[in-house]
Amino acid sequence: MAATKEFGATGAETTVIGPSILISGKLSGDEDLTVRGRVEGELSLTRTLIVEPSGIVKANVSVRNAIVSGVVVGNITASESVELTREGRMVGDIRSPRVIIVDGASFRGRVDMGNAEPRAANERPASQTRPALTRPVVRPAAAPPRPVVAARPAAAKPLPPAARPVVSAAPRVEPKSGGDAKPQPPPPPPQPVLVGEAGKKKVLVKKKK
Amino acid sequence: MANTIIGSSIIIDGEISGDEDLVIQGTVKGKISLKESLYVEASAVVEADIEVQNVEITGRVTGNIAATDKVELKADCRVVGDVRAPRILIADGASFKGNVDMDVKDR
């Protein structure tokens, strides 16, 4: 009897199903449940289910939290979280806002984290990015042709905004071309006048550096 | 010793079987069969047929009890049902209604 009292004291809010125990039927409760044996049927708790490595649960489970280190065959619905640890083995569906499956765990079934948020979040950015991409692409594509035809600098193609003001563009082009000094030198040759100016200025910039 | 505890807020509707001690503080309906001892504590409500080796009852039990060794009805327990065991102890203060059969030879 002493033993029972001790266990009663320590297990005040914890129920333990020992390794040789088989429970078949319905089990419900408002406290933590540790399963080291077998539970078959239906299991519903308002708190945490812990299936230890020796535990086998063949049941539809509805709990707040579930930590599975043993074997679960059946569906788990958890209002908070389901965790499959390294030793956990499960076949069945999981419905829970938080699902943790650790490396080493074995699981076959569906996972439903409930919230439509992730799906909605994917749809929104996708629909936003598409127009965002298409619009800017269209604008620069339409814009460059005008200055290219009017201003003719082939070197200016990569820098459409600077291309519009041809004469006044020179100073603006310098810093930009200065940054891209190596890639730009080849294009200039076809334009003798601009090349000379740009070349001298580039050289000056280099000397300053 | 007692590895298995059914806590006070737990309700089991079905069958419990096993080879180890079982402590019940909650509610169990159905059937209990153990090869070891069963402890039905004060907060427990058991509506089940019980087959065990030993049973100590402090709570409420409705159902037939068959023990291979001993049945102990403690003070403050309430038991309704038939009891079969070679040794049956009924403490002062226990409430019991049912048949008693001690004529079970070494099972």
Per-residue pLDDT of A134-177, as tens digits, reads: 444 444 444 444 444 444 444 444 444 444 444 444 444 444 44
Beta-carbon separation of B14 and A30 below 8 A: no
User: Is A162 in the same domain as A104?
Assistant: no
Same-domain check for residues A86 and A166? no
A127 contact partners, CB below 8 Å, separation of at least 6: none
Give yes or no: residues A105 and A186 share one domain: no
| A148, part of any domain | no
**How many domains is chain A built from?**
2
3-state secondary structure of A42: strand
pLDDT digits (tens, 9 = 90+) for B38-91: 999 999 999 999 999 999 999 999 999 999 999 999 999 999 999 999 999 999
Q: Establish if B42 touches chain A: CB-CB under 8 angstroms.
A: no
Q: How confident is the model at residue A90 (pLDDT cuts 50, 70, 90)?
A: very high
The answer to whether A46 and A29 have CB atoms below 8 angstroms apart is yes
What band does A209 get if pLDDT is binned at 50, 70 and 90?
A: very low
Asked whether residue A10 falls in the same domain as residue A107, the answer is: yes
Same domain, yes or no: A102 and A162: no
Q: How far apart are CA A48 and CA A88, in angstroms?
A: 16
Of residues A73 and A11, more confidently modeled: A73
Domain boundary among A61, A85, A112: A112
In a domain, A139, yes or no: no
Cα separation of A94 and A205, whole Å? 66
- What contacts 24+ positions apart, CB below 8 Å, involve B15-18? B15/A22, B15/A23, B15/A24, B15/A25, B16/A21, B16/A22, B16/A23, B17/A21, B17/A22, B18/A18, B18/A20, B18/A21, B18/A22, B18/A37
Which residue of chain A has the CA closest to B6?
Answer: A15
Q: In chain A, whose CA is at the least distance from the CA of B30? A: A25
Read off the DSSP letter of residue A155. Answer: G
Residue (of A124, A99, A126) closest to A113 by Cα position: A99
d(CA A98, CA B68): 48
For residue A37, list chain B residues with Cβ-Cβ distance below 8 A.
Answer: 4, 18
Domain extent for A167? 155-209
Where residue B103 falls among pLDDT bands split at 50, 70, 90? confident
Q: What is the pLDDT of residue A12?
A: 45
The token duo for A38 is 């077998």
Count of CB contacts below 8 A, A vs B? 98
Contact map slice: A 12-41 vs B, CB within 8 A: 12-31, 33, 36-37, 41
| Alpha carbon A49 to chain centroid, angstroms | 28
The residue type of A21 is: I
Percent of chain A residues topping a pLDDT of 70: 48
Within-domain flag for A140: no
Residue A124 domain-assigned (yes or no): no
> Region A64-75: what's the mean pLDDT?
96
pLDDT per residue over A144-156, tens digit each?
444 444 444 444 4
- Write out the H or E segment, with its range, that includes residue A132: helix A117-142
Same domain, yes or no: A22 and A96: yes
Task: Dump pLDDT digits (tens) for B7-36.
Answer: 999 999 999 999 999 999 999 999 999 999
Mean pLDDT of A80-85: 94
- The partner residue sitting opposite B5, judged by closest CB among A16, A20, A24, is A16
pTM of the model: 0.63
A159 and A108 co-located in one domain:
no
Tell me, yes or no, whether A96 and A28 share the same domain. Answer: yes
pLDDT band at A14 (very low <50, low <70, confident <90, very high): confident
pLDDT of residue A74: 96
The predicted pLDDT at position A142 comes to 44
- Chain A contact present for B81, CB below 8 A: no
A171 lies in some domain = yes
Q: Does residue A137 lie within any of the structural domains?
A: no
Q: Say yes or no: A209 contacts chain B, CB-CB below 8 A.
A: no
What is the domain partition of chain B in residue ranges? Answer: 4-101
pLDDT value at A101 more than 60: yes
CB pair distance less than 8 Å for B7 and A21: no
| Per-residue pLDDT, A105 | 93
pLDDT for residue A114: 78
Does residue A118 form part of some domain? no
Query: Per the domain annotation, does A88 fall within a domain?
Result: yes
Contacts of A44 in chain B (CB under 8 A): none
- For residue A3, pLDDT beyond 50: no
